Structure 1
Amino acid sequence: MNRQDVVVLGLPSSGKTTYLAALRHLMTANEVDVELRLVHLRGEGTEHLHLLVDRWLRAKAQERTTEVKSRTVTMTLREKTGAEFELHFPDMAGESFQRMWEKRECDPSVAAQLRSRGVLLFVHANKYKAPTWVVDEVQQNKALGIAPEPEQPVPWKPEHSATQVQLVDLLQSLQSAPLDAGPRRLAIVLSAWDKAAAEGHAPVTYLDRHFPFLRQYLENGLGEGWTWTVFGVSAQGGEYDEDDKPPREEAQRMRDVDIPSQRIKVVTEGAESHDLTEPLTWLLG
């Protein structure tokens, strides 16, 4: 049987775990038309995945993956043609990638996964650290009537960096030894697309407006043979309930949807569907 490997990247709370939970439900529920169906599931992360799906169905926010070691799920998938293949899908904590930026360290188990030819990069469309400019802060303080503080140097720390700076560094690492695996296919997933859709932009335009440095790198910094595309993905459809906090109206609205798979939205240039397998199908060529 043909084997395919996809590595899932993203900083903490970028939507990776929610995507995996919704994907698992979508491929087995037969509620909407999809490109890929799940035939068999195995691996050390299987039981964990069942728990994720249960929380997703109940519109409960996912607990963040915090372990450095990834839980790899192996899926036997069937295409519409009837052809089957194995897909290895690791659920790695965003802290693993954040550590690569802040500490310049990479766990060997993570490094092994990072050599996959298919790369699914998650970027939260609504919650990210934007660049800050001294001139903007000065103008804001002046407008608020706040007197400038005496000059005091503030030590720079890696965690102060903008999200897109960290993501570009991660992509650069994938093109350098020991992680370089040659040309790859890269799918950018703008998660929480339900929070971004109101702007009325296509995903690639949204990326250009909110993450211009990342967009420039995609255009000019990737090595020869790399190909990339952008998807807007809402795997939840709204804000889910958090443990030990009051219920949210959006979560109840999602529970009221008769067909859970229809909570999902996947947006590309001029098209929209409920099929979370579209990014995977594109990655697999």
Structure 2
Amino acid sequence: MHTPEIVLLGGPNSGKTHYFGQLYIRLRRHAGQLQIRSDQGTPPDLSPLEEVLHCLENGRSASHTPTKTWREVLLPLVDAQGSEMNLFWPDYGGEQLETVFKDREVPEAWRDRLSKADGWVLLIRLRKETTYPDVLAELSERAKHSNGSEARPGVWDANARWVELLQILLHVAGLGTVERLRSPRLTVLLSCYDELETSEVLPSKVLATHLPLVSAFIHSLWADDAVSVWGLSALGCALDKDSENDKFIDEGPEHQGWVIASNGGERDADLTQPLAWLLKAS
């Protein structure tokens, strides 16, 4: 019987390390829809988790994953109905995705996972994304006062960068863009959702407001029932790496953080829900 495999994609400062730690704590304490399969026992190498778990238990934020790091933890998961999935959680410096975009070259480890995956989890931290909403008007104005020798900006608009990166990853995975995709299924997590001051009810509308080209590309390429967009606050608040948050410690990290479901609604402390959505659809 095929066990679905899920991979996670996130750039630098996207919050994937904190989500990783908070997810694992909930899995071990049975605080969500998914659990670690008992027949597998403890994953053989938890070294990528040690720092973030220690920091969370002490109410501090974890340090940034070094750029060249590549380690992987296999989390064998199961839901209440007995459906199983293997979550290959890569611990890597998010700058590696930037390198993929810049060099147009995907490492072999990534190629293997992308081609086999039944589902992708994409983390986007909207407050860290650079956009140029008035870029066309700005370029038009510059053209009036320039001889054409002015250098292009060094930072890409996030809309163009994410669409280009997704196309690279899809090409490496051997996936075409002629027909709408049903596999791999895609979950988009808008991380650090507590940073956003938004009155929008649906996370998909928040994505469309901040990154309209990315939203349009995703929803045009994936079938409606094969993509979902969630709001994610893995910590529920900002932590400092040098000082402890007593409230976070006293209440326990498993009671911190929340998600907003793709169909809206109240904050939910079950951080496994976006992954459970992928599993139910497999």
Measured against the shorter chain, the TM-score band is 0.7 to 0.9
Matched residue, 1:156: 152
Matched residue, 1:168: 163
Paired with 1:72 and 1:80, the residues of 2 have a C-alpha distance of: 26
Paired with 1:42 and 1:2, the residues of 2 have a C-alpha distance of: 20
Matched residue, 1:215: 215
Could you say what secondary structure the match of 1:231 adopts? strand
Identity, % of aligned positions:
25
Matched residue, 1:279: 274
Matched residue, 2:122: 121
Which sections of structure 1, spanning at least 5 residues, go unmatched? Answer: 139-148
TM-score after normalising by structure 1? 0.81
Could you say what secondary structure the match of 1:206 adopts? helix
| Distance of aligned partners of 1:229 and 1:2 in 2 relative to their CA distance in 1, 3 Å threshold | same
Matched residue, 2:142: none
| Distance of aligned partners of 1:99 and 1:3 in 2 relative to their CA distance in 1, 3 Å threshold | same
1:78 aligns with 2:74: no
Superposed CA deviations along residues 138-184 of structure 1, whole A, max 9, x for unmatched, are 9xxxxxxxxxx987844336x51022322111221233245438731
Matched residue, 2:42: 41
Greater strand fraction, Structure 1 or Structure 2: 1
Is residue 5–residue 89 contact of structure 1 (8 Å, CA) maintained in 2? no
| Distance of aligned partners of 1:58 and 1:165 in 2 relative to their CA distance in 1, 3 Å threshold | farther
Which sections of structure 2, spanning at least 5 residues, go unmatched? Answer: 140-144
Matched residue, 2:88: 88
Superposed CA deviations along residues 46-90 of structure 1, whole A, max 9, x for unmatched, are 122132112122232222223445311112323213455543222
Paired with 2:246 and 2:138, the residues of 1 have a C-alpha distance of: 39
Could you say what secondary structure the match of 2:171 adopts? coil
Aligned-residue offset at 1:241:
0.8
Paired with 1:198 and 1:177, the residues of 2 have a C-alpha distance of: 35
| Distance of aligned partners of 1:80 and 1:200 in 2 relative to their CA distance in 1, 3 Å threshold | same
Structure 1 window deviating more from structure 2 (183-192 vs 67-76): it is: 67-76
Is residue 37–residue 78 contact of structure 1 (8 Å, CA) maintained in 2? yes
Superposed CA deviations along residues 1-46 of structure 1, whole A, max 9, x for unmatched, are 753321111211111111101101111124x4x11112333244x1
Is residue 11–residue 97 contact of structure 2 (8 Å, CA) maintained in 1? yes
Matched residue, 1:270: 264
